[in-house]
Amino acid sequence: MDKFVNVAEIGPRDGFQSISCMMIPTETKLEVIEAIIDAGVSHLQCTSFVSPKAIAQMQDATEIVQTLLEKHPDLDLFALVPNFRGAQSAVAAGLKKVSSVISLSVSHNMNNVRRTHEQSFDELKRIMDTFPELHIELDVATAFGCPFEGEMTIPALVDFVGKAYDLGIRSFNICDTIGVAYPSQVSASFQALMAAYPDVHFSVHIHDTRNMGILNSLEAVRCGVDTVQTTLGGLGGCPFAPGASGNTATEDFVYLLEREGYETGIDQKKLLAAAKLEVEKIPGNYSGHHIHIDTEWPDPARCTPEGRA
């Protein structure tokens, strides 16, 4: 299955957390998530276990997780945990897998989780030691660039992954947190990482801030990355910058992959319907393109050569 790509939906975390104008009802979140699962998505980051003071939108994390675990025991379900306390809550809710997060950029890590690299790696080790059965994927934030420090270097990225590798981490999600990666940087980064750690699983998470989300995501796939994180409708971005983009849009990326001859196991029509449902139910900042297309293509019935279409 060389050409199979896992499109991992993370909108219920990275997308929903961008909505600050309203508390999305838990049943609305679950309705959208069910539509996503029904379309064939089998990898889902459904929430984050974070302080409600930091992100109130995620306060129903336990209910979301427990409802989904009960209905979909075979789903690859996971949540983001920013610290030990979050991991505790995730495990208590029944999760077997979490995303932990450390920024490659020291300044960004300090801004994001108020920790030095050393403190963050200590916290990661504490989680690993306390929950030895928990599958921990490490999100490497600002892996390509930091808002304060600028472009990151590939040797720094490889060294950073090595530190977590030495602790025992074998799953990494390489994140373009602020959407500044470019294709040749993405391919050089994954080539270096895969050469250095052949027994590691890598996924990729690209923000579409500068209109390169799909391009950089495909570049990673072309390097052999088999898992790409995306958000339905491209929901995300910053609530204070109305048009700023979130992640690569799931349905746009699946369309591209299928046209390029990859397999995703996802039903495109159902996925697009789920995206339109989400747009209808949850007012937010959507950057996806397919959600605006109302016509089938091709459509021979629209061919009326006698008149002007």
Hey, which residues are catalytic here? 238
Chain position carrying tokens 């020291």: 106
Return the residue of 218, 232, 272, 275 that touches its own copies, per CB under 8 A. Answer: 218
Q: Which is nearer to its own copies, 133 or 240 (CB)?
A: 240
Q: Is 2 in the site for its own copies (CB under 8 A)?
A: no
Q: Distance (Å, rounded) from C-alpha 230 to C-alpha 246?
A: 9
Binding to its own copies (CB under 8 A): which residues in 227-266? 241-245, 249, 252, 255-256, 259-261
Q: Is 53 in the site for its own copies (CB under 8 A)?
A: no
Q: Which is nearer to its own copies, 29 or 290 (CB)?
A: 290
Contact 196, 207 (CB under 8 A): no
Q: Is 293 in the site for its own copies (CB under 8 A)?
A: yes
Return the residue of 125, 167, 183, 268 that touches its own copies, per CB under 8 A. Answer: 183
CA gyration radius, the chain: 19
Q: Which stretch binds its own copies (CB under 8 A): 20-28, 42-50, 67-75, 283-291?
A: 283-291
Return the residue of 82, 233, 236, 288 that touches its own copies, per CB under 8 A. Answer: 288
Minimum distance from residue 162 beta carbon to its own copies (Å): 24
Collect all residues with Cβ–Cβ distance below 8 Å to 260 and sequence separation of at least 6. 218
Q: Is 11 in the site for its own copies (CB under 8 A)?
A: no
Minimum distance from residue 18 beta carbon to its own copies (Å): 14
Q: Which is nearer to its own copies, 166 or 304 (CB)?
A: 304
Q: Is 305 in the site for its own copies (CB under 8 A)?
A: yes
Return the residue of 148, 162, 224, 263 that touches its own copies, per CB under 8 A. Answer: 148
Q: Is 7 in the site for its own copies (CB under 8 A)?
A: no
Return the residue of 7, 44, 214, 277 that touches its own copies, per CB under 8 A. Answer: 214
DSSP the chain: -TTB-EEEE-IIIIIGGG--SSPPPHHHHHHHHHHHHHTT--EEEEEE---TTT-GGGTTHHHHHHHHHHH-TTSEEEEEESSHHHHHHHHHHT-SEEEEEEESSHHHHHHHHS--HHHHHHHHHHHHHH-TT-EEEEEEETSSEETTTEEPPHHHHHHHHHHHHHHT--EEEEEETTS---HHHHHHHHHHHHHH-TT-EEEEEEB-TTS-HHHHHHHHHHTT--EEEEBGGG--S-TTSTT---BPBHHHHHHHHHHTT-B----HHHHHHHHHHHHHHS------SGGG--S-SS-GGG--TTS--
Q: Distance (Å, rounded) from C-alpha 191 to C-alpha 133?
A: 30
Minimum distance from residue 246 beta carbon to its own copies (Å): 11
Q: Which is nearer to its own copies, 198 or 297 (CB)?
A: 297
Contact 186, 218 (CB under 8 A): no
Q: Is 274 in the site for its own copies (CB under 8 A)?
A: no
Q: With CB under 8 A as the rule, give the number of residues binding its own copies.
A: 57
Q: Which stretch binds its own copies (CB under 8 A): 7-15, 70-78, 162-170, 176-184?
A: 176-184
* Interacting residues with its own copies (CB under 8 A): 107, 110-111, 114, 145-151, 178, 180, 182-185, 208-212, 214-215, 218, 241-245, 249, 252, 255-256, 259-261, 287-295, 297-300, 302-305, 307-309
